[in-house]
Amino acid sequence: MCGIVGIYGEIKEPLLESMLKKIKHRGPDDEGTFFDGNVALGQVRLSIIDVEGGKQPIFSEDRSKCIVFNGEIYNYKELKGCLKKNHVFSTKTDTEIILHLYEDLGVNCVDKLDGMFTFIIYDKTEKNIFVARDRLGIKPLYCGTGKNTLFFSSEIKALSHCDKISAFPPGHYYTSGGGFVRYYSLPEYLFSGEGADIVPKKINEFLSKAVAKRLVSDVPVGVFLSGGLDSSVIAAIMKKENPVLHSFSVGMENSRDLDFAKEVAGYLDLKHHEYIYSRNDIMEVLPEVIYHLESFDAPLVRSAVPCFFVSQLAKKHGIKVVLTGEGADELFSGYHYLKEFNDNKKLFDELVRITYGLHSTNLQRVDRLTMANSVEARVPFLDIDFLTYVFSIPTELKLSSEYGQEKWLVRKAFQGYLPESVISRPKQKFSEGAGSINIMKDIAESLISDEEFEREKQITKDFQARTKEELYYYRIFHKYYPNPSVLDCIGITKYF
């Protein structure tokens, strides 16, 4: 896990170094750069796989190609077994696997990768760059332009010098000769025909495999535990694979998340850690949270605050890798507003839309706030095999109005894994369960008058702050990110 930057065009070495410095929090363990003509690549590294030998950039055997990479490839050992006869390996990393795959398969190498990733490969012979982002955009990547030069970075903050900034689209790759190409789309409206008697068993099987993949690491792996259904299920599966498991929970005094997390941790015999934060703590970290989050979307900022605290907690206890429960609500129709849908096709389309949008909402939050603390987050619910199966489940089985409670399929799939109080716990947003949602609304209400809100809420001709809270966050955001093109990168959460 790390941060990457790239320049294609007019190269200035101090500029590359400046870009890397702005994302150093993503990779405090190591740093590497490469310059050749009109191409410059850089990487800051958080060492997870091949801790001692994985320095980047990594080169091909004849040094005609090199790569910088951010992410984890969960099937890298299997791929290495297929590549061994054709290549000599200089490291034990998943990064080198991608480079050799590219040598053998060209741009089609992305189809073989099971994981979360962004990478830039430079082919010196062809004078070509190849840039790719994983199917769902779990790992971030942005593009910037200026003075006939193209820039890439894991975070917006490293592109402040650019004229225009945009998100590199998930499920796409880019070549300097051919531009952007889409290589992945979510499954279409086609169903397996399996019934309610079979589906929960399959969910258990696929998700258990997804968790097992994500335990591959050369450093300890922990879990973020809110005490909600999704994170608790992940913790329960992990515990079966890992007898000594550290869990982390945060909240305000007397918050529900702390109580439920403690109950789950006791039930599963986890090494549990918690942190209680206050209103003053929120006020103190809010500017830093928004700087790292790179968004002012109100629901996202609310949940980013506890995410920042829980990431700090994991780092304090020496954990570099955590698993989280993100993605379950999008796949299984977990949000309250989705209860309004009673048409299967419309619900399916909405689940596709919000799943595609995760890269600029909840996945952005998890990546930025964990990496702000040099912690890597992995998201088993968004495993591509699991996701493909879940989208084949008949949509009517996801209608809570028909079956009594949202995500009932997940609840049934893991009956007996957790206390009944957790299995039946209703959906709560992270900021609700942690107890900070109303505090943050009240802060904004106390600082912005009705007159100010009416005067300033129209941020651009196309975007209007929905509440005083969102306007308050925007004011902080704008100080860090004044370039108006950045607004095109902001994901807007539909549900409040």
Instruction: Return the active site residues.
Output: 2
**Backbone dihedral angles phi then psi of residue 198, each to the nearest 5 degrees:** -100, -40
Q: How far is CA 400 from CA 51, 220, 426, 446, in A?
A: 46, 37, 12, 38
Tokens describing residue 281: 């703590």
φ, ψ of residue 135 to 5 degrees: the values are -60, -40
Distance, in Å, from the CA atom of 114 to the CA atom of 72, rounded to the nearest integer, reads 9
Nearest to 308 by CA among 271, 263, 277, 262: 277
Nearest to 407 by CA among 238, 230, 257: 230
What three-state secondary structure class fits 229?
A: helix
* Separation of alpha carbons 199 and 213, rounded Å: 21
Nearest to 10 by CA among 38, 35, 52: 38
Which residues is 276 bridged to in the sheet?
Answer: 251
Are the CB atoms for 486 and 156 separated by under 8 Å?
Answer: yes
Distance CA 305, CA 289 (A): 6
Q: In this structure, what token pair is assigned to residue 337? A: 């507003």
By the 8 A CB rule, do 221 and 215 touch? yes
- The terminus-to-terminus CA distance of the chain in angstroms comes to 32
Classify burial at 209, counting beta carbons within 10 Å of its beta carbon; exposed 0-12, middle 13-18, buried 19 or more: middle
CA distance 147 to 263: 57
d(CA 242, CA 269): 11
Asked if 65 contacts 99 with a C-beta cutoff of 8 angstroms, the reply is yes
Contact assessment for residue 357 and residue 365, using Cβ atoms and an 8 Å cutoff: no
Closest CA to 321 of 230, 389, 219: 219
Distances, alpha carbon 219 to alpha carbons 5, 175, 202, 208, 321, in Å: 25, 34, 30, 21, 7
The dihedral sign for the CA sequence 80, 111, 3, 68: positive
Tokens of 29: 């363990």
Sheet-wide strand order for 149-153: 30-36, 39-45, 2-8, 149-153, 142-146, 164-167
As given in the structure block, the two tokens for residue 372 are 């702000």
